[in-house]
Structure 1
Amino acid sequence: MGDDNKKIFIEHAHGNQEESGLKESWDGSQEDFYKSIIRNQQDDMGKIGRYFRDELAQELYGMRISLQNFTNRYGDFEELRCLRDSLSTLVIEIRNKAVSLYNPILNDLGIFHAVDEVLSTYKKRSGFTIDTVLDPSLKELNHNSQVHLFKFLNAMFQYLSDEFPSQAISMSVQIIEFEVFVNVLPYFRGGEAAVSEKSEGSPMRLIKIAELYNARIINDTLSAGILLKLTT
């Protein structure tokens, strides 16, 4: 597997590196280097989310209010109603995107409240039920790790809602030796035969989710459930 503690050299694409001195060295391990990249990406997404929520959405909402005031004064027209409705829809979409990038409940109250909020939304929207058991030690994770886990769980909730042919899902999240284990068990409708075992590997969508969030699929069978290991 090679030596993870070797120096990683970062070369800038332009300029003479001997003259400009732009060749940098990372003295830590490759794992720490990649984690630093992820943390920087998460910080950037948080800034974008706050901009969407606090500035862009507010500006669009202000435009909608101004348009409403205009129509109240000069009369309403079909074109103006369409524009007003479009602005309302756009504000909602932007705020939803902002929450996925920067969840205020996650940042203010922690991962337990944030997960409860997401699950209540799924239940109201589709009636799909996911019961969760979260390890109390999750609150001891640093903020970046909580954000990473929350985004991973969001992706898993959507995957389970779309792909699992079950009546309900039980999900447990446990920390063992600084690694997070996520265990998913399906509950099928009464009298419904268990889904036959897959002869091949995990579904491509689940594999992509695991790759995106640095998780490893330990087990994936519809009848026995899914077990993933997520390095925080």
Structure 2
Amino acid sequence: MKRLLSTVAACLLAATFTFAQEQTTSQDPKVLPMFGKTAKTEEQQLRDQKFLSSCDANFTTRKEASNFFMDRGWEYLNEGQTDTAMYRFNLAWLLNPDNSDTYWAFGLVTVAKGNPAEAVGYYEKALALNPKSSLLYSDLGTCYVSLYEQKPKKKTLKQASTYLEKAIATDATNAFAYFTMSKVNYFNCDYSQAWTYLHKGRELNMAAVDYSFLLQLSEKMPDPQGFFKNATTPDQSE
């Protein structure tokens, strides 16, 4: 175990050193999905090969190495270190271009940075590799809702609804799909149905309720169930 930890640490240290050496701004290819999709110089290609060789020597398979760097990426993302996280995701993608989680991560970060149109492509790549993931379907549906909020079009909401229905069909306990479907119905001015989906979501995961959206919905129509009586906190008497 100690040997494994030391060799893994060495591989990670080499990648971190390269990142520190070359990092400039948030537009640096290293912190853009798939390294910015730009052609690499001969020097960069040699560094990639050195990194891959190091991982080949320290991991059983490249898939294992890819998953390792994905885990590190999630850790950095949870800490709010987006650029460092993205570099880890890129390394995971370099190690295994068929790792659906890398494209999923690219989509999440791209949406967070306000570019859902670009994120759609990453989510679709992830789904092509992992077509049975309910959470992927719901994230893609949420991505289309974000796209609608930027540029309202009915066909965008319809696309969101299609993916969210698939998410629910794949896993009826996916609370996030219900919450986002609530927003779809809200934008379609079907407030009663929006409440129905919101309650289905909160029954599954109360902690994930979006209280800002709850307030918006309450302004259009009070909660028919009376569960959210003041639109900010649930009725604790039930």
Q: Name the structure with the higher strand share.
A: 1
The structure that has the greater radius of gyration is 1
The answer to which structure has the higher helix fraction is 2
Shorter chain as denominator, the TM-score bin is under 0.3
TM-score calculated relative to the size of structure 1: 0.26
TM-score when normalising by structure 2: 0.26
